[in-house]
Amino acid sequence: MRADKSSFWHIGVIGGSGLAAGIELEDAQEIAVSSAFGEPSGPVVTGRIEGVRFTFIARHGAGHAIPPSAVNYRANIDVLARCGVTDVLALSAIGSLREEMAPGHMVMVDQFIDRTHGRESSFFGTGMVAHVSLADPTCPRLSALAGEAARLAGATVHPSGCYVAIEGPQFSTRAESVMYRAWGADVIGMTGMPEARLAREAELPYAMLGMVTDYDAWREDEAGVEVSHVLEVMHANARVARQSLRLLAATLPPERTHSPIDHALEHALVTAPEARDSVLVARLDAVAGRVLDTQG
């Protein structure tokens, strides 16, 4: 069972494996947390920044060993829920599909187009069906707070942007890049989905601080994306991201007030109690226990 959230912030951070190591966490602990949905990307690192609890998980595992399509997104979100996080901030490298979103800039993603396939995109299924609203897939409150922290850290921050999630691991073709621009996408990446979907199902307000590393492939007069250049820009962006987290901790409101996302499952479960799969229901204890327990 997962109880209603307290008034204290506990920020779950999904990002690179070196991120937590670069931040001076108070009372830092590395903990292996089991998930009912398989193996997560690795252990979590939990501690405090400016008195605020932060729990980190490296999306691609130690040494970036897990490709985007093989990340167990369900287990990662489930583990964060089991750790009692109240909100989730994703830190992600992204390509830009807009001239004004230059490499080195930060983008607070607020919409998604999902082009991934074959990934487990829901905690629910046969025997326990749920439909959550995903019209606005990120949390405006956490996005605004994280964006302001990044700005204070010296970054150029774009307050909104539509992220197209591709399967990868290859970067997109020029034709695809031009098509995504025509669709209205602003940035591109490989990990935002189903991560954002699953966070909503777990009633966790989710924000993404996207770190622009390149211009993807839509610029006809430039070479395509090279991973060496991406890694170079990522290294510089990581320093700003770490400073942003410290500033976020320092500028969070003293009390965490209720978010509508905290009760995203309130009217989302549609399977009648007598028709529910008891095995699946048991696996959902961290994600949906708050609602399942009240419905008997």
Would you name the residues annotated as active-site residues? Answer: 214, 216
Nearest to 160 by CA among 88, 99, 209, 213: 209
User: Tokens in use for 188?
Assistant: 């591109």
Give the whole-angstrom CA distance, residue 73 versus residue 279. 20
Q: Which long-range contacts (CB under 8 A, 24 or more apart) does 226-233 make?
A: 230/93, 233/103, 233/104
Question: How far lies 106's CA from each of 23, 115, 121, 156, 287, in Å?
Answer: 19, 22, 26, 6, 30
Give the whole-angstrom CA distance, residue 189 versus residue 147. 19
